[in-house]
Amino acid sequence: MSDFFKRYALIRGEQHVQNLQYEGRIAAQIKTSRYQMKLSQQQLADLAGIPKSTIGRIEAGLTSPKVDTLLRISRALNTPFIIDGTIDNNPKIISAET
């Protein structure tokens, strides 16, 4: 953990900092997958059935997406929804089909 996050954790709490880091990983995964599929934010939004502004706010780290929104994005990107937001050799996955 960087010095900034350590100091911030003293102010806001360790759990808050961990949540911010998880959200950042999720945002990065979405953006990376979108780039790999050569999709614009608008194209991803259309596929997921959500506003383009929502995609932009998620990728910029300005909002925490609801589970329903994550599932819609997951389906649109054909990417499994990973419960804890980390990449792992044996992730616990909820199928995007459910």
Task: Calculate the alpha carbon distances from 31 to 11, 36, 54, 56 in Å.
Answer: 30, 9, 13, 9
Please tell me the predicted confidence (pLDDT) of residue 37.
Answer: 95
Structural domains present in the chain: 3-94 (1.10.260.40)
Please tell me the predicted confidence (pLDDT) of residue 1.
Answer: 62
pLDDT digit string (tens) for 67-95?
899 999 999 999 887 665 455 555 444 44
Mean pLDDT of 51-71: 92
pLDDT digit string (tens) for 11-54?
888 887 787 878 888 899 899 999 999 999 999 999 999 999 99
Please tell me the predicted confidence (pLDDT) of residue 20.
Answer: 80
Amino acid at 46: D
What is the rounded distance in angstroms from the CA atom of residue 87 to the CA atom of residue 97?
20
What is the rounded distance in angstroms from the CA atom of residue 70 to the CA atom of residue 65?
6
What's the pLDDT band for 8 if we cut at 50, 70, 90? confident
